[in-house]
Each structure stands twice: as structure tokens, then as C-alpha cells.
Structure 1
Amino acid sequence: MLGKLDEFMRFNETALSLRSQRQTVLASNIANADTPNYKAKDIDFTAALSTAMAGAAQPLKTTAPKHFPVPQQSAGTLADGTPLQYRGIVQGAVDGNTVDMDVERNQFADNALRYEAGITLINSQIKGLMAAIQGGQ
């Protein structure tokens, strides 16, 4: 029965996890807006969600020294293997930095709004499950 509940919630849980990771990447771009030669990064959310929903194995986290280590990841991927992509240059800078604060702020706000929408969807799923369990009182 728990497997069915996991599957029922899997899409929204996966989407929220990816949104959270994307928010971290976007925040990093904003934080490095004045760093010379910093290249703005992002993830292809649609492709990452498709890969995650297809059942791509996610690496295990180690919690004790005797656990097997997590395989090395390249600098171009997130911890779960999602590839990072460099954002195209909208406006060049003398110092080689490709962060456009207007683009980053818009992407950050859009992602935050979509994250909140995902939370709302999960809450409605849980309320629906609770209503079914309680007999729709």
C-alpha cells in the first residue's frame, strides 16, 4: 500500500526537489553577479524531470564512515546527476561575467512561484487522501 502512495506523490515530490535544486543554482548566479569570469548556470527543468520520472537511479548519501563513497561527479552536474547548462550571454561584461541580474531575478521569482504551486498541489493531494481515509466527513 505504501508503494501506491509513493507512486501517487512521486511526480510532485520529484518536481519540488528539482525546483529546490534549481533555486540553489539561480541563487548562486545572483550571489556571483560581481565575480569576474563567472558563467551563469541553469538546469533544463523539463529534461531533468523527464529523466527523474523515467527512474534514473539517484546516488545514495553516506551517513557513516563505513558506507561506500558516493561516486565522483563532474563539476557540470548537480549531486543527483542533473546536468548544469551555461546560460547564453545576453549582455557581455568586461570582466567576463555572464550573469544578467534581470534574467536571474525573473528566473528566481518564476521558479519560486512554481515551487509554491507545487506545495499547494501536494497539500491538496494530502487533503484528498485524508478525506478518503476519514470517509469524507
Structure 2
Amino acid sequence: MAISFDKALGVHPHTMLIRSQRAELLASNIANADTPGYKAKDIDFGQAFKAAKSSQQSGNSMVRTNENHLSGGSKLTGGVELFRNPNQTDTGDGNSVDVQVERNLYVQNSLEYQASLRFLSGKFKGLKKAIGSQGQG
């Protein structure tokens, strides 16, 4: 009997991918807090989740330069990156980054990533236990 990892692991691999990409965006926002004209970006989780699930079902594709290279992909596409509406008035340089907001969002995203990692770890422990009991029976 084959194990369906999609059913066994649930949504957690998708959420971890989205959270890691969101962490990159939030870190980029923080790094560009003093860059004139920089606009803060974020990820629409709902759209990103739908894109991750559909790319998993249709398969990811990458351009390979050699036929011996592995095919795959993990970057989300499809308009999930959005510009954030600024909470503060324009400071004159056109930058829309509020460092306090970005830091808070980064911490929240990190906690959500850790939660998905714990759930996924529990799923793997359960699969390992099920496989171990199959081999002994």
C-alpha cells in the first residue's frame, strides 16, 4: 500500500513555503527602510496558498540547461506579492516602510512558520511510527 504524502502531510509543506517567502519579503522591507521610493510588499496568504496547491497538482517547472539536471521549482508566482497600504503619511522620500510594523509582522510570521514546522514534524513522527510498526508485523 503506497503512502500519499499529500494526504499524510496536509497543508503544512505549502504553508512553510509561503511563510519562508514572506519572511524574505519582510526582511527586504526592513533592509530597504531608508531607500527613497521603496514600497513595502507583502504576500496575500490566500492567493499564495491557492497557487501553491495548484502548482503541486500541475507540477512545477523550471528551465533546465542540461537534461541530467533535476526538474522542480519552489518559487510562487501568480500575483501573490502585493504592495502594502502605508500606515503613515509620506515622509517626503516616497518610502512606505514602517519598520515597527515590519518587525512585528516578521515575528508573527516566524511564529506561524515554527507552528507549521512542529505540525509537520509531528506528521513525520507519526509516519515513521506507522512504517516501523508495519515492518515489525
Query: TM-score over 0.5 for the alignment?
Result: yes
Sort the Cα spacing of 1:49 and 1:63 in 2 relative to 1 into closer, same or farther, 3 A: same
Provide the residue aligned with 2:116 in structure 1.
Answer: 118
1:6-85 aligned within 5 A = 6-53=6-53, 55-56=54-55, 57=58, 59-64=60-65, 79-83=75-79, 84-85=81-82
Amino acid at match of 2:62: K
- Cα deviation for residue 66 of structure 1 reads 6.9
When normalised by structure 2's length, the TM-score is 0.79
When normalised by structure 1's length, the TM-score is 0.79
**Runs of 5+ consecutive residues of structure 2 not aligned to the other structure:** 69-74
Amino acid at match of 2:100: D
**Runs of 5+ consecutive residues of structure 1 not aligned to the other structure:** 68-78
CA contact (8 A) 1:59 1:80 kept: no
Q: Deviations over 1:27-65 (max 9, x none)?
A: 110000000010000011122113322x24465223425
Provide the residue aligned with 2:84 in structure 1.
Answer: 87
Sort the Cα spacing of 1:82 and 1:10 in 2 relative to 1 into closer, same or farther, 3 A: farther
RMSD value, Cα: 2.5
- Cα deviation for residue 81 of structure 1 reads 1.0
Using the aligned pairs only, state the percent identity.
Answer: 38
CA contact (8 A) 1:40 1:87 kept: yes
Quote the Cα distance in structure 2 between the aligned partners of 1:60 and 1:89.
35
Quote the Cα distance in structure 2 between the aligned partners of 1:10 and 1:80.
18
